[in-house]
Amino acid sequence: MKLKKLFCLVTVILMLILQSSQVGAQPELETTAESAILVDAATGKILFAKEPDKELPPASVTKVMTLLTAFDAIENGRAKLTDTVQASENASQMGGSQIYLEPGEEMSLKTMLIAIAVGSANDCCVAVAEHIAGSHEAFVKMMNQKAAELGCKHTNFVNAYGLPAEGHYTSAGDLAVMMREAIKHPLFLELTSIKRYDLRGGEFILNNTNKLLWWYRGTLGGKTGWTNEAKYCLASIAERDNLRLIGVVMATPEPRSHFRESMKLYNYGFAQFEAVPIAPSGQVMGKVRVGKGTVDWLNAAAKGEVSAVVPKGQKETVTHKVFVDPTVIAPVSKGQALGRVVVYEEGKEVLKVDLVSTKDIPRGTVFRQMFKLLKNVYSYSQ
């Protein structure tokens, strides 16, 4: 009898241990994609991954980097959205997805970028590349340089449009990095979220190839891709309840499967995780004393979004600390680093965001510095 009671007691203890070990465990997620990743857009934290470093042909998801490279050129003053872009013979001869540019046909740079973002136009990729870099080859070199700057170790581009080519590859993990960088440009989400665009006065209609814009609530944009070699690919972004996620699936097997598998990723992410917002980009989080400047104090603002993402129910594990330089000597440039805010989960550092100057502060005149010194001496003597 005692043996039976002891057996029952041991059984109960083992069940309790098993249950406790399962608390907080994440459910399995299966996907038919050969490679996939789900990350928090704000921090880059990986929430799910399957073969994220596998090097695969990306098809037209290549155009995430094409657009990003073009946006960088615009921000750096090398091009303007209002530029007139003329199609070359080379651009007009592109196959695959296109808007059938005629040699010599002209459109604004913005219109061609819309055609790339919405209709995946290969001919516009070449026209834009030639306009910005002088040649398609030079533009592809810029794309690879940008990928290297971002730390993409499993990427090499041979063209700007994504048609099959030997040595043209990337990975889901690298595409997630590219997407995080692309969304820093408001134009990326603006263009890739357009559902329909009337081209040439309505004679040519572009319908967005990313059907998640219709099918999945919270979708903000992204880029699709398909070739026989690459199969079906999609890099996209969706947001719900302040949680912004980037999902990438590569080499899904059949039509529309890249949408289905992406929705699986997002359903998993939004069900299992929650955002812990701390401060939006640009929020003032401290003040710095200015020496030898035209002002005595300067605001230090977050350079980017400050937040964390944790399993639901674990918000209390997130803390943060603000570190501000005690003094900065003028002149100070807008955007100059003045400190940092560090985010922790369970005491472990997970994010670091610079705190930067909100404006330019020139060096003060000698007379101002003398007046300030005399004022301080007078205040001390009192």
* Residues catalogued as catalytic: 60, 63, 120
User: Which residues have a Cβ under 8 Å from the Cβ of 87 and sit 6 or more positions away?
Assistant: 101, 102, 103, 104, 105, 106, 107, 123, 127
Instruction: Measure the CA–CA gap between 244 and 274, rounded to whole angstroms.
Output: 10
Which residues are bridge partners to 332 per DSSP? 361
Instruction: Measure the CA–CA gap between 172 and 217, rounded to whole angstroms.
Output: 23
Structure tokens at 293: 């400047």
Instruction: Measure the CA–CA gap between 322 and 278, rounded to whole angstroms.
Output: 11
CA-wise closest residue to 68 among 128, 137, 27, 127: 128
Core vs surface per residue 253-289: b (16+ CB within 10 A) or e:
eeeebbbbbbbbbbebbbebbbbbebbeeeeebbebe
**Can you count the helices (H) and strands (E) in the chain?**
11, 17
Q: How far is CA 90 from CA 129, 236, 293, 301, 341, in A?
A: 11, 30, 55, 47, 49
Instruction: Measure the CA–CA gap between 69 and 157, rounded to whole angstroms.
Output: 12
